[in-house]
Amino acid sequence: MAARVVVTGLGALSPLEAGVQKSWTSLLAGKSGITPISQLPDAASYTAHCPATCGVGKVSNFSPEEYGGLFSTQDLRRMSLFTQYATVAAREALEDAGLLHDRYYDKEKFGCVIGSGIASISDTFDTVGGFIQGKKVSPLFVPKILNNMAAGNLSIKFGLQGVTHCVSTACATGNNSIGDAYNFIRLGYSDSCLAGASEASVHPLALAGFLRAKSITTAGISRPFDSLRDGFVLAEGAGILVLENLEYAQRRGARIYAEIVGYGVTSDAYHITSPLEGGDGARRAMQMALGDHDPRSVGYVNAHATSTILGDRAEARAIRDVFNARNNRESDICVSSNKGAIGHLLGAAGAMEAIFTIKSLYHDTIPHTLNLNTVGGAKGDDETDFQGLNFVRDKPIARKMEYALNNSFGFGGVNSAILFKKWDEVEQVTK
């Protein structure tokens, strides 16, 4: 019989704030973590290649020295920025779970599943520039740019000798990392896992590349599902969760945030950057995550919704089909996107948004979509595309929920969805 898997710790470094609680509070307050590139300390390096009207969701004023001896001098030499972000978030998650100094756990059954979309673009950029000028390449260059180095360094830092695994599925990376860790625990490979993703992607080269791919908005505002949506805002950060076998978590008296009860992953098999217009791949991922659960029991979908015309429309169609929201009737399913507030964290997006989804369940509160004024109406939208869905805008809403779904999709046609169940201690004790 497969083990049940619960979430017992959360850690985050977001464009809004450092730390889960501060980020959550800022999200509910309608604050934005997006900064115009003209206001960045190195603005000239951005504006030389990108319109000055662009914005980014940068982890501002990050200083590893502020984290109480977490990083040694050797760490700072060896760790790229995305690994440093992951380390900060992982420590918070372990501390939140009561495991940072607890040696009760079996270190050989404690896994680490941390992914990244593009890892360290800044180290690659700087090294190539120096190489062209005839400078020697650092012996740490290759270890610093490998996607799995966040997972590897965290395993070393916290003594985790179980499964060490790295996922890199573009913007679905965070969700897929959590999903893989969920399956490792269900199947008995691990008792516990750090799971999530980290991204340090805010760099002039990355911004210029996404602009050329016509994925980025030049308005500096992320508008998920809105009539004026025209592309995402590039952002960065890290989201890390502690997942545990339910029996182990209960045995040590852990506080439980939520239970993971379903995971779905599919491929569009259609295009490297564009989704299927009808959202079929996203629909199948959500249905896979739901399994035998009644769709009517799901109170909230935290949508991937990056603020692109095609992507948001396809996802709305998929959600509408999964939850049978049609015929001008507003369904019970609430939908919102966090990207209006934090931008698009690429590989770390799903992990950060999974944390916000779990907080929504835990606190019976659904955050609103920032900058959503008029639902639908962009070029190519049909008036029925967004019908029947209860888009949460203007302000958060209070709602009792049993289940919530987190969506995350990526270039290459990958679609992922995770179903979280509210943890009811009284209900579980009586079973």
Residues forming the active site: 171
The identity of residue 316, as a single letter, is A
The identity of residue 384, as a single letter, is T
Q: How far apart are CA 197 and CA 241, in angstroms?
A: 9
Measure the CA angle with vertex 363, ends 245 and 338; round to 5°: 90
Q: How far apart are CA 85 and CA 98, in angstroms?
A: 20
Q: How far apart are CA 75 and CA 244, in angstroms?
A: 28
* Contact status, residue 298 vs residue 418, Cβ threshold 8 Å: no
- What is the H or E stretch that residue 53 is in? none
* Contact status, residue 171 vs residue 410, Cβ threshold 8 Å: yes
Residue 326 main-chain phi, psi, to 5 deg: -145, 180
Which residues are CB-contacts of 329 (< 8 A; sequence separation ≥ 6)?
388
Strands 35-36 and 55-57 turn out to be antiparallel
Which residues are CB-contacts of 101 (< 8 A; sequence separation ≥ 6)?
none
As a dihedral over the C-alpha atoms of residue 280, residue 222, residue 174, residue 151, rounded to 10 degrees, the angle is 150
Q: What is the DSSP letter of 50?
A: S
- What is the H or E stretch that residue 230 is in? none
Which residues are CB-contacts of 232 (< 8 A; sequence separation ≥ 6)?
210, 215, 216, 217, 222, 306, 307, 308, 339, 343, 344
* Contact status, residue 270 vs residue 414, Cβ threshold 8 Å: no
Instruction: Give the number of C-alpha atoms closer than 13 A to the C-alpha of residue 30, restricted to the C-beta side.
Output: 10
